[in-house]
């Protein structure tokens, strides 16, 4: 899995959601196969980090890497029949990442940590929503909600009194939607790619609204029939801290992965 900055880690959902969204809203699921799951299938991607410091998106020199995802097994996992995906990156210090996918009728699920504790640790927020199967997409829907939850009374550092904490509310929303189609080149051949978008938003509010920290990240993934994911992209994004937290603007790198080669096992 690609390297993530502290705040980009918040969109780990988005990566998983779009790795799984797949079917046309008007064609029965059995007639389309945007996401092959036969054991032994592999996809290798060229990845690069991106940034936008001047209003123009550019790749970051020296950030290039490759990622290979393999369908490792089929098994029953946490009560559901699942496909096991293992991804390995060439980035220094990276370790293999395992994802569990389960299909049921017109729906698709993944088993994930809903909000890893370390994603908000830098802000002093102690929150872990646990791990569970979550609905990621419905083949017959043009849009769907992955999660929409509000948690009240969390403890976060008090910006007015270092060493103390204050209660805060956090709203977490993740949704997916189907976009349009476009032509892309994969292994020298032109393919029609279907776009899916995942929007991740999180908002922290404290001190009667004096402290507000909204974050929103959009990820786009493009899938091709009988191939799988051909492109995955999260643009650079920025977060502006409230005045009580210094008013600093935090710039976060984006990322793009493009399919280089693939083998679909029979």
Phi, psi of 112 (to 5 degrees): -140, 165
Give the side-chain half-sphere CA count within 13 A for 213: 24
The structure's pTM equals 0.78
What would the pLDDT profile of 156-173 be if each residue is shown by its tens digit? Answer: 777 778 788 888 888 888
What would the pLDDT profile of 24-38 be if each residue is shown by its tens digit? Answer: 334 444 446 777 889
The conformation of residue 127, written as its DSSP 8-state character, comes to -
- Antiparallel, parallel or unpaired: β 97-104 and 42-51: unpaired
Q: What is the pLDDT along the chain (266 residues), one digit of tens a residue?
A: 343 333 333 333 333 333 333 333 344 444 467 778 899 999 999 999 999 877 788 999 999 999 999 999 999 999 999 999 999 999 888 899 998 988 776 677 888 766 544 545 555 555 566 778 877 666 677 888 888 888 888 777 777 787 888 888 888 888 888 888 999 999 889 999 988 888 988 888 888 888 888 888 899 989 899 998 999 999 998 888 777 767 778 888 999 999 999 999 98
| 92-95 own/partner pairs: CB under 8 Å, 24+ apart | 94/1, 94/3
Contact predicate 24/194, CB 8 Å: yes
């Amino acid at each position: 899995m690609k390297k993530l900055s502290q705040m980009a880690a918040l969109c780990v959902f988005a990566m998983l959601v779009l790795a799984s969204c797949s079917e046309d809203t008007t064609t029965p699921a059995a007639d389309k196969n945007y996401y092959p799951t036969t054991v032994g299938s592999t996809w290798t991607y060229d990845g690069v980090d991106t940034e936008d410091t001047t209003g123009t998106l550019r790749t970051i020199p020296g950030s290039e890497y490759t990622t290979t995802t393999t369908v490792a097994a089929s098994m029953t996992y946490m009560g559901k029949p699942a496909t096991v995906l293992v991804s390995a990156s060439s980035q220094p210090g990276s370790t293999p990442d395992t994802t569990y996918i389960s299909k049921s009728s017109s729906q698709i699920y993944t088993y994930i940590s809903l909000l890893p504790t370390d994603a908000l640790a830098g802000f002093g927020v102690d929150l872990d929503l646990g791990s569970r199967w979550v609905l990621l997409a419905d083949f017959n829907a043009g849009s769907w909600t992955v999660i929409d939850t509000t948690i009240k009374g969390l403890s976060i550092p008090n910006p007015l009194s270092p060493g103390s904490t204050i209660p805060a509310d956090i709203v977490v929303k993740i949704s997916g939607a189907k976009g349009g189609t476009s032509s892309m080149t994969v292994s020298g051949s032109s393919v029609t790619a279907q776009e899916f978008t995942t929007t991740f938003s999180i908002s922290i509010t404290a001190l009667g609204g004096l402290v507000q920290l909204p974050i929103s990240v959009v990820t786009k993934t493009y899938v091709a029939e009988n191939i799988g994911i051909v492109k995955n992209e999260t643009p650079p994004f920025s977060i502006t801290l409230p005045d009580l937290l210094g008013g600093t603007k935090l710039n976060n790198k984006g990322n793009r992965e493009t399919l280089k080669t693939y083998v679909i096992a029979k």
